[in-house]
Amino acid sequence: MQHFPELFETLLKQRGILPEEQEDFLSPDYEKLYDPLLLPDMLKARDRVIKAIKNNEHIVIFSDYDCDGLPGAVVFSDFFVRMNYENVSFYIPHRHDEGFGLNLGAIEEIAARGAGLMITIDCGIANTAEVAFANDKGIDVIITDHHKPNPTLPAAYAVVNQNREDSDYPFKGLCGAAVAFKLVQAITAHETFGVKPGMEKWSLDMVAIATLSDMVPLTGENRILASFGLSVLRKSPRPGLAALFKRMNLDQRTVSEDDVTFMITPRINAASRMGMPEDAFKLLKTKDHEEAERLALHLEKINNERKGVVASVVKEAKSHLAKREVITDVIVIGNPDWRPALLGLVANSLVEEYERPAFVWGRSGDGTLKGSCRSYNGHDLFALMSVTGDAFVEFGGHAGAGGFSVTLESLTTLEERLSQALPDLGAGLTEADVPALHIKLDDIGDHLWSLVSRFAPFGMGNEKPVFKIPQAEIKSVKRFGKENNHLELMFNGGVKAISFFSDPASYSVLLTPGTRISLLANLEKSFFRNRPELRLRIVDIVES
């Protein structure tokens, strides 16, 4: 029997799920993934990899350094390990010194390794000159990428990207690691190399981490990949993941999408932000338990260092913004002393604080001004940068996030130009567009959780339901955490609501026992210290 039938229908309606799509959405089916050969150039890419393996060519996997590219590289590492193919090496660029994508110095080194084939993961789509240079060096290049391409594609042997203009692939939202996984799927379906069919599914833990980390929509194929990938993640035999979970006090058997995005992703990304991307790659692929423990400890350390540096830059940025008379519709802020590798996190903080898109720039190792941007409220950043394209030396990314480089001269007008262009692009759904989901305190229980969890995993394009609970009387207020910077409210019936890094003074209503409030919150199940607890995560508090 379906509890809360009206709420169930509302949740479906909010997500635009038609009656005929309901079964596919609520019961993701691995067998309903699209045929990899529908991707452009996939047949050429598949056959070229098979030829390279059979001819024992040296293959180099060139991956991006973030939490999409690195898991994608591990997908290929798994693939080669399973078939005992050893004539392969990996190249992960240094974020600060080399920047995003291919570069000529890297291709020189790859040529020196004797590579006959290079496969890119989560990058390459904009590297026309670098691919031409690789061709001159006698290296065939297969690009697997998901970023939106420029009008002219690189002259690679194959360009596998669902976002090509000539692509008929039915789903456009795959992340880089998912495109890499599709290539592995295509190869193993055609040539097993002695590996038991279906073994590639054990790499779905990496695809899930990448899909959840990379701000791609959790709809269509991504919902299938994330759902099955989380199942694999919960029983993955990787020593590196086990060591990471142990250090984070997470029970692997109950890992959720929130655990990935708030706990795992920052630690993997910290490696590249602090100049050591290989450490995250080694952690995820290692079979050695001692190495896994050592690398997990190291990632924890550099993640803590990263937090300190980012907090310092955010504080400085907010101090500068506080002195401005007007905050424009798009924030552009930077400092030549800021390190571009960390600026995506700074942009996230500014978006959260000022509720508008943010472009944050610094100076890279080669002296160029580079930065990261993050979106707000559904604005398409790639479209925004495209209509102001002459303001950038180069740019790339997708709707929610991107990277760019600029000249000092263009910075003088960049904020004004972006702010003027923003209104013409429109935006996604605002909170006002989504009908409120009204519930009572005594609705909160296992039946409601059972309903909500059917819509998981949550993420971009499938956001967590926000419930409104009017006239909720506060029974107690408590601060908790080492620095007393988290908030806990208790209500009738033992219902608990929490908010991390939250100051009671930041709400428009005084939080004291006996006060009645209107609470906006998500419903979640915590497994802290292996104790399951159903609770509310505060989104906002308003006067009742």
Q: 291 lies in a domain?
A: no
pLDDT at 429 over 50: no
Task: Give me the helices (H) in 234-367, please.
Answer: 239-247, 257-259, 265-273, 277-285, 289-322, 343-354
pLDDT at 323 over 70: yes
Question: What average pLDDT score do residues 242-262 get?
Answer: 93
Give residue 399's pLDDT: 78
pLDDT at 542 over 90: no
Domain end marker among 425, 451, 472: 425
Instruction: Give 175-236 as a 3 state SS string.
Output: CHHHHHHHHHHHHHHHCCCCCCCCHHHHHHHHHHHHHHHCCCCCCHHHHHHHHHHHHHHCCC
Give residue 435's pLDDT: 56
Which residue segment(s) compose the domain that 89 sits in? 33-199
Give residue 484's pLDDT: 81
Q: What is the pLDDT of residues 326-379, one digit of tens each?
A: 999 999 999 999 988 889 989 999 998 999 999 999 998 778 899 999 998 878
Q: 357 lies in a domain?
A: yes
Q: 539 lies in a domain?
A: yes
| 43 and 191 co-located in one domain | yes
Contact 367, 390 (CB under 8 A): no
Q: What percent of the chain has pLDDT over 90?
A: 70
Phi/psi of residue 534, each to 5°?
-85, 130
pLDDT at 188 over 90: yes
Q: 390 lies in a domain?
A: yes
Residue 100: CATH number of its domain:
3.90.1640.30
Question: What average pLDDT score do residues 35-53 get?
Answer: 98
| 450 and 413 co-located in one domain | no
pLDDT at 411 over 60: yes
Contact 157, 142 (CB under 8 A): yes
| 97 and 180 co-located in one domain | yes
Domain end marker among 167, 199, 231: 199
Could you tell me which residues come within 8 angstroms of residue 71 by beta carbon, excluding any fewer than 6 positions away? 177, 206, 207, 209, 210, 213, 268, 284
Question: What average pLDDT score do residues 23-32 get?
Answer: 94
| 420 and 463 co-located in one domain | no
Q: What percent of the chain has pLDDT over 70?
A: 97
Give residue 436's pLDDT: 65
Give residue 56's pLDDT: 98
| SS3 state at 153 | coil
| 115 and 138 co-located in one domain | yes
Q: What is the pLDDT of residues 110-141, one digit of tens each?
A: 999 999 999 999 999 999 999 999 999 999 99
pTM over 0.75: yes
Average pLDDT of the residues of the chain: 91
Q: Which residue has the higher pLDDT, 262 or 144?
A: 144
| 91 and 69 co-located in one domain | yes
Contact 393, 406 (CB under 8 A): yes
| 188 and 49 co-located in one domain | yes
Q: What is the pLDDT of residues 284-315, one digit of tens each?
A: 999 999 999 999 999 999 899 888 999 999 99
Give residue 41's pLDDT: 98
Q: 101 lies in a domain?
A: yes
Distance CA 206, CA 284 (A): 9
- Count CA atoms closer than 13 A to 453's CA, side-chain side: 12
| 98 and 160 co-located in one domain | yes
Phi/psi of residue 412, each to 5°?
-65, -25
| 72 and 94 co-located in one domain | yes
Give residue 503's pLDDT: 73
| 50 and 92 co-located in one domain | yes
Residue 530: CATH number of its domain:
2.40.50.460
Which tokens belong to 389? 């394209």
Give residue 176's pLDDT: 97
| 337 and 358 co-located in one domain | yes
Q: 271 lies in a domain?
A: no
Domain end marker among 375, 406, 425: 425
Q: 144 lies in a domain?
A: yes
pLDDT at 430 over 60: no
Q: 313 lies in a domain?
A: no
| 446 and 537 co-located in one domain | yes
Total structural domains in the chain? 3
Give residue 2's pLDDT: 66
Q: What is the pLDDT of residues 496-540, one digit of tens each?
A: 999 887 777 767 788 889 889 999 899 999 887 778 889 999 888
